Structure 1
């Protein structure tokens, strides 16, 4: 049955008479909040410090070329967010195929992995090592998952972690994987494992694997096209989106925010507001408070860190360079982390079809050597690195520009969790302030999650709801549906309990385990046979010949090695499938016993209570 939107209750201004609702920040979260307020006949003021809206999701323009800061795919499970996008842009959204690859050791690997491509790139021996490592770490995992390295290793194995995760992740975050908190990985790679990746190579998944989405929507001229349209709508309906308006102070009386000091064109003035929704970095918000918060809160704010990046945008006099939307650069010999090919996102991003525009992303910290490097030197560095990778020659580049994006990634380091808890506790005491978005919550949210926090903040404000904005995208599950304050029925509770039990006693996939062991066994017998053929080992060769008693047609020859590959695969598959089946059966019996015990315990407590 279709859910109806609840009736909006009258809203009473809590400070100065007729004072507006002030939204700090004109990124996806702030603009979404303002748009929702406009739809309910309120006229908010949005304060954006840059000269254009969109925040991290803005689109820069240089000589008619459009550059997306980071590459923003538009996909979501939230019906409300999808409706928002279509409501604003409609036919200006394009359906785009996703193609992204990994550049590693001067070779390209498809992502998601494709078996032939990975086998040719890594070689059969390395492939066996990766699968063997996967099996080893599933049998003997880390007992605790405090770090990114431990989290990924437990799911993919150490070998695959070192091959396809370690170098790029440390390039992005600037700290060792052993210092990056596991919570970031849990958010960014939900429900993906080597098992699902291998299965996706051969079979069409019954349901979409989020990290492996193959298609997405995209505005014709980048994400900034959407947010500029939202800006126009807010202004047309009586709200205000004020650009070049930097908040440099926040006034407080007790537990109420009363106003903000805004710097515009070298001058400052104070805006009085009734309620405040902020997507500015929460660390800066706390430092601007006047009077300031307690010392321990400011100390916690100082413990939170951010990672920045800049994009070197190159215009190349080539109609086509490579087919990918973007490429992950895992090669440690170059500093670039990722390369966007904007023409493959949308042809409208490039005004001249005989040219191509690239965005080379360099992850850095504000004030470090890369961040402070002059634009001319950065363009020269980018030209040299695309030549080293083999994408184009320096002489092919006709022009370039640099765009810096500060505080792009909230860092999940060792001090992050305790510091954020202190900040959350303090902010909860401020009665008319809500923080939203990636930087307002210091959480590495996707664009749609940021939008959801803006929507939920407005519902809290206008409907008196108690939606916890900090939990959007904080759970292990992919909480993106906008289903709020609904009563829980028995079926829902049972489903939640079953999910918890599934997490505690994960089911082994017989097909995936069978395939894994089958590949290992088959490749092992293939290589052993070929080794004997090449070296002429009589004793070992005679031993292998005995396998013919069990495997008709097998011989220690080149042809026999292929037959052995098949027999080894079938044997390994049978053992893996059988083990998974028996293990699942035993676990199922145990869970039935556990359910029965829990029911008896609950019944005893019930009778004791009455």
Structure 2
């Protein structure tokens, strides 16, 4: 599995990246008798952002991955790769604010009760004020959410966490993203439902949502999501038709002038692997791919302007019983930098080997090379201990160990120019290089779910086997919201085009919402798009 110095491979398909998209493509292609070579920058782990990192027997999920898809095709592939190791887990996530927990989605009576009489009264007065006299010129996330819930509730339950995740002020995020992201959530509906429940007239959960309620349980590999991708790797290698070269980053992807490719990867010691192939699949970030393509694309400058939000997890081992039952809690508190706290035992008991030790992961959203990202592991562990104490979740003296996991380019940033930049590069590459295929989250610069990344690879595989672009892997419905709601394998999505089945569209439609900055108007001021 490791490459020796200056190794050369001749295969049918060269694949950049051993994440869900790259491994899905590799697995399906080798099943069909094709030879593949995958290069992966990480020296140890496959799975990309879906990997599971192990430290002293403890396992950490990077970001939390619930295995759910509306596409039966994706579900069947999961079951085929990992037939005997899924467990069913209860879904529980809550909001933490000033020492109290709030249901997610919010329940009006519970939220107002936790806030206390004076603050809840101020929240209701603020809510009524903006219902009677709403902001007229709605441009930003802040404007839209204030009109829906009032300034007080906006500042408590929307502002802090949203700004932590996306690294931009809420008054610079466009209002249309807020309208999509919080669609169906109504404070008035939640109050009315709460009254009905108190009178015994409504037995359904009170979440204030007109839309589907969230999943109550989900499937999960017993040793974390990396177990799925370790199994995919092993199956690829077992065919004898697949090579996976670890610890080698992409140095160059060169067109050979005859429709094929020469891919070069190099490790930290300078050892090189050269892969010659007829087709190439890239799940590498578009910005990175453009800089390493030869000849350089005309749209290299467009790709160089694409931006990313990065992410790190600080895992703490704490001598204690489990601190809370949630899979994770959202931290809406300005006193700390942490955005979410995972409880790894709630994902799977087998991820935490010691029954007397709780293991939690504090998630920090950052930009590569900023203060957080550049801090030493020791400093980050001390920060996590301090913030757990501030939150009242543990005593630092009970922490018996820690580890830090960094994930660069975790979230593609949707700034005002990203769509034009992505489209420019996509059109050029499709026109010039029909045998080069972009897949996955970073490969397509799209904030998607695991099942979407897999479906782009599944359809790409079909295109390669057919020898032409039968399927349009870019057919994505940006209004999708079912990724944690409804029935698994339901096949209820509308096909994106005639060549894509309803089931395939169900996975392609799993693109998640990302905030966009307000676009400057003709005078240079920020102006959002019109919101209905």
- TM-score, normalization: structure 1? 0.70
Asked whether 1:258 is paired with 2:250, we answer no
Spell out the pairing of 1:74-223 with structure 2 (5 A cutoff): 74-123=67-116, 126-127=119-120, 147-149=140-142, 152=145, 158-181=151-174, 194=187, 204=204, 212-223=214-225
Which of 18, 25, 40 is equivalent to 2:17? 25
**Distance (Å, rounded) in 2 between the aligned partners of 1:314 and 1:291:** 47
Cα shift at 1:216: 1.1
Larger deviation, residues 117-126 vs 43-52: 117-126
Which stretch of the first structure deviates more once superposed, 424-433 or 185-194?
A: 185-194
Q: How big is each residue's C-alpha offset from its partner over 1:322-371, in whole Å with a ceiling of 9 and x where there is no partner?
A: 12111111111111111111011111001111111111111111111111
- The answer on whether the counterparts of 1:325 and 1:340 sit within 8 Å (CA) in structure 2 is yes
Q: Which residue of 2 aligns with 1:367?
A: 369
Alignment-derived partner of residue 388 in structure 1: 390
Aligned counterpart in structure 2 of residue 405 of structure 1, from 398, 404, 407:
407
Which residue in the other structure is 1:276 paired with?
Answer: 280
When the two chains are superposed, the root-mean-square deviation of aligned CA atoms in Å is: 3.2
Structure 2: how far apart are the matches of 1:122 and 1:228?
46
The residue that corresponds to 1:435 in the other structure is: 438
Quote the Cα distance in structure 2 between the aligned partners of 1:187 and 1:257: 42
- Cα separation, 2, equivalents of 1:288 and 1:421: 19
Q: Residue in 2 aligned with 1:73? A: 66
Q: Does 1:48 align with 2:47?
A: no
- 391-400 vs 246-255, which moves further: 246-255
Superposition deviation, residue 105 in structure 1 = 2.7
Farther off after superposition, 125-134 or 408-417:
125-134
C-alpha distance in structure 2 between counterparts of 1:22 and 1:192, whole Å: 46
**For 2:475 and 2:498, how far apart are their aligned partners in 1?**
19
Structure 2 residue aligned with 1:469, among 450, 453, 473?
473
**Structure 2 counterpart of 1:241, from 244, 247, 255:** 244
CA deviation vs aligned residue, 1:418-467 (integer Å, no higher than 9, x gap): 32232222232221111111111111111111111111221222234543
Larger Cα Rg: Structure 1 or Structure 2? 1
Structure 1, residues 189-245: CA drift from partner, whole Å, max 9, x if none? 566555776688655379995673222111111100111011111111222222212
Closer, same or farther in 2 for the Cα pair 1:394/1:37, shift >3 Å? same
Q: SS at 1:418's partner residue?
A: helix
Distance 2:465 2:115 in 1: 56
Question: Does residue 1:456 correspond to 2:459, yes or no?
Answer: yes
1:355 to 337, 354, 357: 357
Is the contact made by 1:255 and 1:431 (CA closer than 8 Å) also made in structure 2? no
Gaps of 5+ in 1: 1-16, 493-610
**Paired residues for 1:325-364 under 5 Å:** 325-364=327-366
The separation in 1 between residues aligned to 2:73 and 2:347, in whole angstroms, is 24
Q: Which moved more, 1:204-213 or 1:342-351?
A: 204-213
2 CA distance for matches of 1:445 and 1:125? 41
Structure 2 residue ranges without an equivalent (≥5): 1-8, 484-488, 503-532
Q: Distance in 1 between matches of 2:126 and 2:226?
A: 44
Provide the C-alpha distance between the structure 2 equivalents of 1:486 and 1:412, rounded to a whole number of angstroms: 25
Q: Is the 8 A contact 2:262 2:277 kept in 1?
A: yes
Give 1:471 shift: 3.1
Answer 1 or 2: higher relative contact order, Cα 8 Å, separation at least 6. Answer: 2
Aligned residue number for residue 591 of structure 1: none
Deviation at residue 62 of structure 1 after TM alignment: 0.4
Distance 1:116 1:186, change over 3 A: closer
Given that residues 10 and 276 in structure 2 are in contact (C-alpha distance below 8 angstroms), is that contact kept between their aligned partners in structure 1?
Answer: no
> Does the 8 Å CA contact 2:35/2:242 hold for their aligned counterparts?
yes
Distance 1:396 1:82, change over 3 A: same
Equivalent residue runs for 1:209-608 within 5 Å: 212-237=214-239, 238-252=241-255, 256=259, 258-264=261-267, 265-294=269-298, 297-429=299-431, 430-463=433-466, 464-476=468-480, 481=491
Q: Give the number of the structure whose residues are more often helix, by fraction.
A: 1
CA deviation profile, 1:242-298 (whole Å, cap 9, x unmatched): 22121111113569452211113521232111111111101100011111111xx22
The answer on 1:39 being equivalent to 2:31 is yes
Which structure shows the higher strand fraction?
Answer: 2
2 CA distance for matches of 1:457 and 1:137? 49
Cα gap change, 1:399 to 1:155, in 2 (>3 Å) = same
The structure-2 alpha-carbon separation of the partners of 1:149 and 1:456, relative to structure 1 and needing over 3 Å to count, comes to: farther
Which shows bigger deviation, 79-88 or 55-64? 79-88
TM superposition score normalised by structure 2: 0.80
Deviation at 1:145, TM superposition (A): 7.4
Q: Sort the Cα spacing of 1:465 and 1:302 in 2 relative to 1 into closer, same or farther, 3 A.
A: closer
Please tell me whether the aligned partners of residues 144 and 178 of structure 2 are also in contact (alpha carbons under 8 angstroms). Answer: yes
Moved more, 268-277 or 303-312: 268-277
Q: Write the distance in 2 (CA, Å) between the matches of 1:118 and 1:380.
A: 32
How much has 1:60 moved relative to structure 2?
0.4
2:316 aligned counterpart, secondary structure? strand
